[in-house]
Amino acid sequence: MDDIDLKICRILSDNCRASFAEIAREVHISRMAVRERVMNLYKKGVIQKFTILIDSKKVGLDVAVFLLVKVKPQELDNVAKILSDHPNVVIVYATTGLNALHVHAFVKDTTALEKFIHNEIYTIPGVVEVESNILLKRYKSERSMLV
């Protein structure tokens, strides 16, 4: 990966809809060379996904929540899979410490959050405890690695 690849990644991180021609003008190589480089970065797994960022409040999901889900060790992978498949969950990480999963989800309101925790998460075999932290204000939210 060279400086041109890094510049291409920065451009696409900022705007995944940037055309090969637009990128080519910024990095001073041909459109076809940009296309080749992007395809190569994708094949190598450097670029994992081309996506968009949706404003959750504008689609009726007003509450962003971080959950610490403590799990029996032997059930960690199963619980992570079930939570990962839930449409309101956007991030699931295994963390160090207390056999915990860090989960980021969006729900309509606090009533929906209560139902999600008690009627869905606690019913998953292996879940021991759930702590929730509602996001009050977002100062920074970068979902891609800045290079």
For the stretch 90-105, pLDDT in tens is 999 999 877 799 999 9
- Topology of the domain covering 3-43: Arc Repressor Mutant, subunit A (1.10.10)
| pLDDT score recorded for residue 29 | 97
Res 14: pLDDT: 87
Average pLDDT over residues 131-144: 85
Per-residue pLDDT for 146 more than 80? no
Looking at residue 12, its pLDDT comes to 92
Residues 69, 121 contacting (CB under 8 angstroms): yes
- Chain segment 27-60, per-residue pLDDT in tens: 999 999 999 999 999 999 999 988 877 888 899 9
Backbone phi and psi for residue 101, each to the nearest 5 degrees, phi listed first = -115, 135
Q: What is the mean pLDDT of residues 78-93?
A: 97
Instruction: For residue 11, name the pLDDT band (cuts at 50, 70, 90).
Output: very high
pLDDT score, position 50:
86
Provide the terminal-to-terminal Cα distance of the chain, rounded to the nearest Å.
Answer: 11
User: Domain 56-134 is of which CATH architecture?
Assistant: 2-Layer Sandwich (3.30)
Q: What is the pLDDT of residue 145?
A: 61
Which tokens is 66 given?
């971080």
Q: Where in the chain is the domain with CATH 3.30.70.920?
A: 56-134
pLDDT tens, position by position, 102-132: 999 999 999 999 999 999 999 999 999 999 9
